């Protein structure tokens, strides 16, 4: 491209307006107007900044906090509603069962003096046909009193006691009441499973299990959910642990590595121990086992020699 001439540079440096030359006077007027507009804009901006701003609570954090608070309130309301319904159901069931579960004068007489009532034929038939004939009635009443007391304590301290345990105690209480009322274990457990848990046969079986355990021990059965191992670790086997540790002791320090232990386990130990159904083991697992057995990753250093290690008596002692 050809270089511009001096005249072309002068023409290009002149300001233009719609492709025409503009006088210098108009250019000064335009620049003055621009400066005036800029100064007015600054004044308006300062006035706006001087006005006190009003917080309208529309920030993203505030909206998130308000929504979270509303959801928590709805959740608390649902839980309170469930508790109210459960308490109402419990109180209504207790009112219907209280008169039926209280010991009658006849049952009190049987508890105090069972031999005096054997002469009567009809009460004897009732006792033998009762589904709870193999259970001491006095112990049933005692357990009922204990579980009712625990239910009251648990209900007053729901914050520290899980709701699941409270419902289990409530189910045991109803179960004992129905047994004292003369119902069988199957019918009583099914009725409680449907009324309290809204469940079927499996929950009825659990209620019978809880009730039998409470009648025998007076304690609530410990929940075993998540407390049993699905798999057993290789390190739990004594033969495996002893064999690996003996092999590591026989090796040189530079051979104490997870990779070498992995090769030994896969090629020697697994074929020798036939009760293991595994063929491979990961290097990271070997590293974890070595750390568990007291090995740690460290730099190998030379031994420290003390003065006098080459004396004749010291050499003789080492040879002995």
Question: Is the pTM higher than 0.75?
Answer: no
Asked, for residue 274, whether it belongs to a domain, the answer is yes
Residue 7 lies inside a defined structural domain of this protein: no
Number of domains comprising the chain = 2
Domain residue limits at 203 = 83-103+131-222
Q: Which of 106, 58, 92, 82 is nearest to 174 (CA)?
A: 92
184 & 274 share domain: no
User: What stretch of H or E contains 226?
Assistant: none
The whole-angstrom separation of Cα 168 and Cα 245 is 48
pLDDT band at 259; cut points 50, 70, 90: very high
The answer to whether the beta carbons of residues 168 and 210 sit under 8 Å apart is: yes
Is residue 117 situated within a structural domain?
Answer: no
Q: Say yes or no: 181 and 241 in one domain.
A: no
Do 172 and 143 share a structural domain?
Answer: yes
Residues 213 and 243 in one domain: no
Asked whether residue 202 falls in the same domain as residue 253, the answer is no
Q: Are residues 171 and 96 in the same domain?
A: yes
Q: What is the pLDDT of residues 39-56, one digit of tens each?
A: 887 777 665 565 556 666
Residue 182 lies in a domain: yes
CB proximity list for 237: less than 8 A, separation 6 or greater: 273, 276
Residue 201 lies inside a defined structural domain of this protein: yes
Q: Would you say residue 148 lies in a domain?
A: yes
Mean pLDDT is lowest, of 67-71, 120-124, 190-194, 267-271, for 120-124
Which residue, among 206, 276, 193, has the nearest Cα to 234 in the 3D structure?
A: 276
| Bridge pairing between strands 16-17 and 20-21 | antiparallel
Half-sphere exposure of 263 (CA within 13 A, CB side): 6
pLDDT score of 125 more than 90: no
- Cα radius of gyration (the chain): 45
Has residue 190 been placed in a domain?
yes
């Amino acid at each position: 491209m050809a270089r511009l001439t001096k005249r072309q540079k002068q023409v290009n440096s002149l300001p233009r307006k719609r492709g025409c030359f503009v006088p210098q006077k108009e250019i000064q007027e335009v620049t003055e107007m621009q400066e005036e507009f800029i100064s007015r804009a600054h004044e308006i901006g300062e006035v706006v900044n001087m006005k006190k701003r009003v917080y309208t609570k529309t920030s993203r954090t505030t909206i998130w906090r308000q929504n979270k608070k509303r959801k928590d309130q709805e959740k608390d309301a649902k839980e309170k509603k469930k508790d109210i319904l459960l308490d109402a159901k419990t109180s209504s069931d207790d009112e219907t069962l209280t008169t039926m579960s209280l010991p009658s004068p006849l049952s009190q007489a049987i508890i105090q003096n069972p031999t005096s009532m054997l002469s009567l034929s009809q009460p004897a038939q009732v006792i033998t046909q009762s589904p709870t004939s193999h259970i001491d009635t006095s112990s049933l009443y005692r357990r009922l009193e204990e579980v009712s007391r625990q239910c009251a304590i648990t209900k007053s301290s729901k914050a520290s006691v899980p709701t699941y345990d409270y419902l289990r105690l409530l189910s045991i209480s109803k179960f004992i009441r129905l047994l004292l009322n003369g119902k069988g274990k199957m019918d009583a457990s099914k009725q409680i499973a449907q009324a309290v848990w809204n469940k079927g046969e499996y929950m009825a079986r659990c209620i019978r299990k809880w009730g039998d355990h409470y009648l025998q021990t007076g304690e609530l059965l410990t929940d075993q959910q998540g407390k049993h191992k699905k798999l057993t670790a290789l390190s739990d086997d004594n033969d495996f642990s002893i064999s690996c540790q003996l092999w590591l002791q026989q090796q040189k320090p530079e051979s104490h590595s997870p990779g070498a232990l992995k090769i030994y386990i896969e090629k020697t130990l697994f074929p020798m121990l036939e009760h293991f159904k595994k063929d491979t083991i990961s290097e990271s697992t070997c590293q974890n086992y070595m750390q568990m057995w007291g090995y740690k990753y460290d730099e190998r250093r030379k031994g420290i020699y003390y003065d006098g290690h080459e004396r004749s008596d010291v050499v003789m002692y080492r040879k002995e």
